[in-house]
């Protein structure tokens, strides 16, 4: 009965094992081969499920044990076994149990002189060795010794068997025990000699795969410390480096060069960074903290070099591809609303920050803060809080009109005219024309024209000093220059003359006011200088710059240059030319090297080392009171020659990958260009790559985890002028002083009869800087009670930014938001008349001031402190949360809360929100009917997807992760109950979709996004069920001339018009893969599929072109 029910396949397999008739066996093997050679792998997997592998292995053992072994059966049997074994993950274990492992080894030994038989045995061994444990077993049984008898120096005979042998050996060496055995037996030297021999003789690159196989063996051995030591002792670095230098541009050598690179990177001796300590060069005494032991110097034993690739744990990029095990699946934690984290009576102190809720018409008409002295008024509970408004300083500028009550001149067309067209709010109607180099048409005689085509006087017509002297004199803090009376008059004259002859007016900026504000900015090391770009101002370039096209081979050239330094150290200058850790001056004025400086607000450069005449290794400073978070850089460089390619290698970056690998460029500001009327930060640099280097973090720096990697950002820059002063930065800088200057100018620019603009101090930071709180709304229509009530009952919108100091793009987005909200745009007017905006434009002033990338002065990531912030250690977060608590306690929770951030690893602009159901669905959990959720959290991102050229819905995510439980987005959602609580991420790079596709963000595009966000808030209100008829009527009037926009944005239905765009991948495929690991599953799959192809070819083609030395008998004895 069982035989009757058996399938045809099972009958064939049973007959194969029991038959002793040669013709029957060959027929069955042919039928099975034909069945499995067509169709998909499903047939093979079905055969495996029916015991096919066991049947083939048993037939192999039985046939091999006959006298003599019949190779007419064994060869097709080996081919079929290899084909099936490639898909059977347990093939090695099955072969061991059925003794096929030993049988195949014996057959291989008996056929060393018969290439065709040996080749088939090797194919089977390759499949068996796919399992590391079976590879170890083969190693114990002498397989490696056998293979070294097959792998000979260069020959044109039996090359297919030699190639197969190298691949089997590489598979065996994945076993650490086999690799140790290979080291102990001196195989590293043997493999290097074989590689040299084949490389030297194979001039036509005919046998690239043999050479690659030998290198794969070395790569696996190099996974062991002892293997790397043996490789270095055998001068492996020099051998591989020298053998590849003449073939880097040969595409046929790509399989060899890629493995060589992996070996060289793996074997490059790991070392600590060239720093005296892992801790920041700056230290700040945190109140109440216990003084820790001084950080020790980095020692060899502090790091190991076998560490796995690190995950970017402290990234706030909140990548949408969240690991499921990080998703919060506890429904109680997702849905419950925790109680207050402080006594309820403390919330009364925040009433002073919301005077709009209770003030009279007379109080509204008086200027906020005119009669308040912050030094005399303080709150009893928390010393960080000052009064409701801090004193305003008038401009130093003799022409008060530049920052007085007048509106800025920039003419804006209605924001609605620019929706999703790619037209900027600052330059209406202008089309995006990508510019490769905004400095390419510079005049050599230093004469130029500003954007208004007026001639700019020669720089040297000003006080006869060089550009760096202008920068040094002009950028001293006013307090520093005025402290020396002998220089005061000269300095003021220089400043006045420069401003009169060279200053191009920058909207919402005033250098005199900036200098005044800078004197009040408190830094850890008391900066004495100001950066010229921050003082002089920045105007966006006339056109957006395209992403840099990455050339293939850039990364490998840099890696080979790193190797060259190791093996040819005499070529390296290795001269320290700048260091925050060295008290004495390191730069000789007569020396032929660049001059560096970073001790100014937001500056970050710790050390500069001249490597070659035009190449420098740079190290950025860790965050204050931290040993980590090296990413942001901002420094001054001078003494350059024009049109000379200078290379900068920032060697202690921490993030595992960067948009610098995908088209992003650093930013540059030239003092001479600014004096010529072009005060502009531009994207610059070429031959850019970002890759893992040989430096390792100490255990102390890595929080006890050893082996964490550092990464190098390498880029070349050709400066526009000789003897210029230039500034280089990770992204467009935006300082705390720039913000305070901007807020004062904004306040003076508004029409006080129409716009309610109030500056308050949320609190004092640890460093003693006021954290500004801005309130923007419309003044009441009249003094009537009805209008005053409408004024007081407007719903709130709360926006924050810059909790992470290195995310300067968030400040540019915020700048666009602030300027739009006080503008005369009809959309802005409607927003002011219907909402009260509470804005905290910079949550981490201390971090911004001191050049941190991520943390505050306490060395903490403030966006991980929202669950239970401390009033003394995290005052800005404590009081921001307290303000939100206060609004919630009086029934005035914001309609939307949004925290502006920057994203280092994705393109475009997008939102992260919170959803219980989406989180549970993603985690594969059952979503009960008792879970109720307002789905309107998706409405705003959908609106922005329609409105903003830079925004994309496809990158948005609404998952709640355990690792984000203490972030602003999640805490405001859970504890304050704001369903529309978001993080808005703006890429450091640019867009890969929409009107800006292929372009890098400039400050104009970022500011535009801030304005578009405001428009999105208005459309959100218009689409809500609670929208008043009056607002709808006003919006209809506003849009009456824009019928298309009216039809698009005033639809009250929930469905979206048009089709949903296909989800875009985060990154397109790069021309050159950024590889950090030395092995990967995809590579194994490629190797096995290649083996499958060769087996298939062998079934139909006889080996031609190879001379086989056939011995009589072909291994005729039976195997015992």
- Closest among 542, 660, 739, 533 to 988, alpha carbons compared: 660
> Using one digit for the tens of pLDDT, what is the confidence trace for 238-289?
999 999 988 888 888 999 999 999 999 999 999 999 999 888 999 999 877 6
Q: How confident is the model at residue 163 (pLDDT cuts 50, 70, 90)?
A: very high
Measured CA to CA, the distance from residue 649 to residue 619 in angstroms comes to 8
* pLDDT higher than 50, residue 374: no
Q: What is the mean pLDDT of the chain?
A: 81
Q: What is the pLDDT of residue 808?
A: 98
Helix axes 485-502, 467-474, angle to 10 degrees: 120
Q: How confident is the model at residue 707 (pLDDT cuts 50, 70, 90)?
A: low
Contacts of 629 (CB under 8 A, 6+ apart): 314, 622, 623, 654, 806, 852, 853, 854, 855
Q: How confident is the model at residue 422 (pLDDT cuts 50, 70, 90)?
A: low
CA dihedral 320, 325, 328, 329 (to 10 degrees): 120
Q: How confident is the model at residue 591 (pLDDT cuts 50, 70, 90)?
A: confident
Measured CA to CA, the distance from residue 262 to residue 886 in angstroms comes to 57
* pLDDT higher than 80, residue 301: no
Q: How confident is the model at residue 818 (pLDDT cuts 50, 70, 90)?
A: very high
- Closest among 930, 942, 935 to 914, alpha carbons compared: 935
* pLDDT higher than 90, residue 330: no
Measured CA to CA, the distance from residue 385 to residue 377 in angstroms comes to 10
Active site residues: 985
For residue 1041, give Cα distances in angstroms to 54, 1035, 1037, 1038, 1048. Answer: 79, 11, 8, 7, 13
Per the CB < 8 A criterion, the answer to whether 412 and 823 are in contact is yes
- Of 302 and 978, the structure prediction assigns the larger pLDDT to 978
Most confident of 26-30, 171-175, 502-506: 171-175
For residue 155, give Cα distances in angstroms to 120, 202, 526. Answer: 20, 9, 71
Measured CA to CA, the distance from residue 698 to residue 308 in angstroms comes to 15
Q: What is the pLDDT of residue 766?
A: 95
3-state SS, 286-346, equals CCCCCCCCCCCCCCHHHCCCCCCCCCCCCCCCCCCCCCHHHECCCHHHHHCCCCCCCCHHH
Other residues' Cβ atoms within 10 Å of the Cβ of residue 440: 8
Q: What is the pLDDT of residue 1078?
A: 43
Contacts of 883 (CB under 8 A, 6+ apart): 350, 353, 762, 773, 838
Q: Which residue has the tokens 């190693």?
A: 139
Q: Which of these ranges, 59-68, 413-422, 557-566, 569-578, has the smallest mean pLDDT? A: 413-422
Q: What is the pLDDT of residue 1054?
A: 37
Q: What is the pLDDT of residue 990?
A: 97
Q: Which of these ranges, 260-274, 457-471, 490-504, has the smallest mean pLDDT? A: 457-471
- Of 863 and 247, the structure prediction assigns the larger pLDDT to 863
SS3 state at 983: strand
Per the CB < 8 A criterion, the answer to whether 86 and 1096 are in contact is no
The kind and range of the H/E element at 647 are: strand 645-653
* pLDDT higher than 60, residue 388: no
> Using one digit for the tens of pLDDT, what is the confidence trace for 1066-1119?
444 444 444 444 444 455 555 556 666 676 666 555 444 444 443 444 555 556
The kind and range of the H/E element at 575 are: strand 575-579
- Closest among 400, 496, 506 to 450, alpha carbons compared: 506
CA angle, residues 993, 998, 1001, in degrees to nearest 5: 90
Measured CA to CA, the distance from residue 503 to residue 460 in angstroms comes to 15
- Ranges of beta strands (E only) in 928-988 are 981-987
- Closest among 705, 868, 846 to 764, alpha carbons compared: 846
The kind and range of the H/E element at 555 are: helix 554-567
For residue 632, give Cα distances in angstroms to 6, 45, 850, 940, 988. Answer: 69, 52, 11, 31, 12
Q: Which of these ranges, 77-81, 309-313, 1050-1054, has the smallest mean pLDDT? A: 309-313
* Chain centre distance of CA 584: 36
Q: Is 1017 left (phi over 0), alpha (psi -120 to 50) or beta?
A: alpha
* pLDDT higher than 50, residue 378: no
SS3 state at 58: helix
- Of 981 and 1085, the structure prediction assigns the larger pLDDT to 981
- Closest among 911, 978, 983, 980 to 337, alpha carbons compared: 978
Q: Which of these ranges, 315-324, 567-576, 944-953, has the smallest mean pLDDT? A: 315-324
**What tokens appear for 779 in the block?**
């003044």
* pLDDT higher than 50, residue 719: yes
Q: How confident is the model at residue 568 (pLDDT cuts 50, 70, 90)?
A: very high
**What tokens appear for 478 in the block?**
């006013």
Q: What is the DSSP letter of 394?
A: -
Helices (H), 483-531: 485-502, 511-520
- Closest among 215, 220, 218, 222 to 254, alpha carbons compared: 215
* pLDDT higher than 80, residue 69: yes
CA angle, residues 864, 968, 986, in degrees to nearest 5: 100
Q: What is the pLDDT of residue 703?
A: 60
**What tokens appear for 915 in the block?**
């959803």
Most confident of 385-394, 461-470, 566-575, 837-846: 837-846
Query: 836-840 and 682-683 as β-strands: parallel, antiparallel, unpaired?
Result: unpaired
Q: What is the pLDDT of residue 58?
A: 92
Residue 183 main-chain phi, psi, to 5 deg: -65, -45
pTM, two decimal places: 0.84
Widest CA span in the chain: 115
- For residues 374-394, give the mean pLDDT: 36
> Using one digit for the tens of pLDDT, what is the confidence trace for 985-1042?
999 999 999 999 999 999 999 999 999 999 999 999 998 888 888 888 888 887 665 5
* Chain centre distance of CA 723: 34
CA dihedral 352, 356, 357, 359 (to 10 degrees): 90
Quote the percentage of the chain above a pLDDT of 70: 75
Measured CA to CA, the distance from residue 578 to residue 805 in angstroms comes to 24
- Of 376 and 516, the structure prediction assigns the larger pLDDT to 516
**What tokens appear for 337 in the block?**
């609303």
Q: What is the pLDDT of residue 924?
A: 81
Q: How confident is the model at residue 922 (pLDDT cuts 50, 70, 90)?
A: confident
Q: What is the pLDDT of residue 1055?
A: 39
């Amino acid at each position: 009965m069982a035989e009757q029910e058996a399938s045809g396949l099972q009958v064939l397999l049973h007959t194969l094992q029991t038959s002793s008739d040669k013709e029957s066996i060959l027929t069955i093997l042919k039928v099975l081969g034909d069945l499995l050679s067509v169709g998909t792998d499903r047939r093979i997997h079905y055969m495996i499920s029916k015991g096919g592998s066991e049947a083939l292995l048993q037939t192999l053992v039985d046939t091999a044990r006959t006298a003599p072994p019949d190779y007419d059966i064994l060869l097709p049997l080996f081919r079929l076994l290899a084909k099936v074994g490639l898909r059977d993950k347990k093939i090695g274990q099955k072969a061991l149990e059925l003794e096929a492992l030993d049988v195949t080894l014996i057959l291989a030994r008996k056929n060393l002189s018969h290439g065709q038989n040996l080749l088939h045995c090797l194919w089977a061994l390759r499949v068996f060795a796919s399992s590391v444990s079976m590879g170890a077993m083969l190693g114990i049984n002498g397989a490696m010794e056998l293979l070294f008898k097959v792998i000979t120096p260069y020959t044109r005979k039996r090359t297919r068997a030699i190639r197969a042998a190298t691949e089997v050996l590489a598979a065996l060496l994945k076993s650490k025990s086999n690799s140790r055995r290979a080291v102990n037996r001196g195989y590293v030297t043997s493999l290097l000699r074989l590689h040299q021999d084949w490389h030297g003789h194979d001039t036509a690159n005919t046998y690239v795969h043999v050479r690659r196989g030998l290198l794969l063996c070395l790569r696996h051995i190099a996974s062991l410390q002892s293997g790397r030591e043996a490789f270095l002792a055998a001068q492996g670095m020099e051998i591989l480096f020298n053998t590849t230098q003449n073939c880097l541009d040969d595409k046929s050598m790509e399989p060899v060069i890629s493995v060589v690179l992996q070996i060289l990177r793996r074997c490059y001796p790991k070392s600590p960074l060239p720093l005296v300590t892992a801790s920041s060069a700056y230290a700040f005494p945190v109140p109440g903290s216990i003084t820790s032991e001084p950080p020790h110097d980095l020692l060899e034993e502090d790091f190991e070099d076998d560490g796995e690739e690190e995950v970017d744990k402290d990234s706030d990029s909140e990548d949408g591809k969240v690991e499921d095990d990080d998703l919060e699946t506890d429904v109680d934690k997702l849905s419950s609303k925790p109680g207050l984290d402080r006594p309820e009576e403390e919330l009364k102190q925040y009433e002073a920050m919301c005077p709009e809720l209770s003030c009279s018409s007379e109080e509204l008409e008086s200027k906020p803060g005119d009669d308040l002295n912050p030094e005399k008024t303080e709150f009893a509970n928390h010393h960080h809080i000052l009064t409701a408004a801090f004193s305003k300083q008038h401009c130093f500028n003799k022409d008060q009109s530049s920052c007085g009550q007048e509106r800025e001149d920039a003419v804006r067309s209605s924001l609605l005219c620019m929706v999703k067209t790619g037209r900027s709010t600052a330059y209406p109607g202008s089309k995006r024309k990508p510019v490769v180099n905004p400095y390419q048409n510079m005049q050599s005689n230093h004469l130029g024209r500003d954007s208004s085509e007026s001639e700019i006087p020669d720089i040297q017509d000003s006080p006869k000093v060089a550009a760096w002297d202008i920068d040094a004199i002009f950028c001293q803090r006013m307090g520093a220059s005025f402290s020396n009376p002998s220089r005061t008059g000269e300095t003021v004259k220089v400043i006045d003359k420069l401003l009169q002859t060279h200053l191009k007016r920058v909207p919402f900026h005033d250098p005199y006011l900036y200098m005044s504000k800078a004197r009040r900015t408190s830094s850890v090391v008391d900066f004495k200088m100001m950066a010229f770009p921050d003082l002089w101002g920045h105007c966006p370039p006339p056109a957006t710059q395209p992403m840099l096209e990455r050339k293939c081979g850039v990364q490998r050239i840099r890696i080979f240059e790193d190797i060259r330094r190791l093996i040819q150290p005499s070529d390296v200058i290795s001269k320290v030319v700048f260091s925050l850790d060295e008290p004495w001056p390191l730069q000789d004025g007569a020396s032929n090297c660049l001059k560096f400086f970073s001790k100014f607000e937001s500056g970050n450069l710790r050390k500069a080392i001249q490597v070659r005449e035009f190449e420098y290794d740079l190290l950025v400073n860790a965050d204050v009171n931290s040993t980590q978070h090296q990413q942001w850089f901002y420094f001054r460089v001078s003494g350059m020659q024009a049109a000379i390619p200078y290379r900068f290698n920032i060697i202690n970056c921490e993030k595992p990958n960067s948009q610098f690998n995908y088209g992003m460029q650093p930013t540059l500001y030239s003092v001479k260009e600014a004096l010529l009327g072009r005060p502009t930060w531009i994207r610059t640099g070429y031959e850019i790559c970002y890759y893992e280097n040989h430096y390792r973090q100490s255990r102390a720096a890595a929080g006890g985890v050893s082996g964490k990697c550092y990464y190098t950002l390498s880029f070349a820059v050709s400066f526009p002028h000789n003897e210029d002063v230039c500034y280089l930065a990770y992204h467009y800088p935006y300082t705390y002083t720039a913000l305070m200057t901007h807020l004062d100018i904004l306040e003076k620019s508004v029409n006080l009869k129409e716009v309610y603009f109030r500056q308050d101090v949320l609190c004092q930071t640890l460093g003693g800087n006021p954290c500004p709180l801005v309130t923007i709304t419309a003044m009441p229509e009249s003094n009537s009670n009805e209008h005053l009530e409408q004024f007081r009952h407007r719903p709130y919108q709360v926006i924050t930014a810059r909790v992470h100091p290195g995310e300067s793009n968030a400040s540019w987005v915020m700048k666009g938001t602030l300027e739009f909200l006080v503008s005369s745009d009809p959309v802005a007017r409607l927003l002011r008349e219907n909402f009260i905006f509470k804005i905290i434009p910079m949550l981490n002033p201390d971090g911004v001031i001191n050049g941190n990338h991520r943390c505050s002065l306490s060395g903490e990531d403030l966006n991980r402190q929202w669950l239970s912030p401390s009033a003394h250690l995290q005052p800005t977060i404590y009081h921001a949360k307290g303000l939100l608590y206060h609004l919630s306690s009086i029934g005035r929770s914001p309609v939307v809360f949004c925290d502006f951030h920057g994203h280092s690893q994705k393109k475009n602009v997008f939102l992260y929100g919170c959803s219980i159901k989406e989180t549970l669905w993603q985690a594969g959990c059952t979503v009960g009917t008792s879970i109720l959720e307002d789905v309107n959290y998706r409405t705003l991102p959908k609106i922005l997807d329609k409105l903003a050229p830079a925004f994309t819905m496809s990158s948005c995510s609404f998952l709640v992760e355990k690792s984000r439980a203490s972030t602003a987005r999640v805490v405001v959602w859970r504890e304050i109950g704001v369903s529309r609580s978001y993080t808005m991420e703006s890429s450091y790079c640019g867009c890969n979709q929409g009107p800006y596709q292929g372009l890098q963000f400039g400050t104009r595009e970022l500011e535009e996004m801030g304005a578009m966000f405001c428009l999105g808030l208005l459309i959100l209100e218009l689409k809500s069920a609670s929208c008043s008829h009056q607002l709808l009527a006003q919006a209809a009037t506003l849009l009456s001339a824009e019928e298309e926009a009216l039809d698009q944005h005033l639809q009250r239905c929930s469905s979206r018009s048009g089709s949903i765009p296909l989800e875009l991948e985060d990154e397109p495929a790069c021309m050159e893969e950024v590889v950090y690991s030395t092995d990967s599953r995809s590579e194994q799959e490629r190797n096995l599929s290649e083996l499958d192809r060769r087996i298939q070819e062998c079934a139909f083609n006889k080996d031609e072109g190879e001379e086989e030395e056939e011995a009589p008998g072909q291994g005729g004895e039976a195997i015992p």
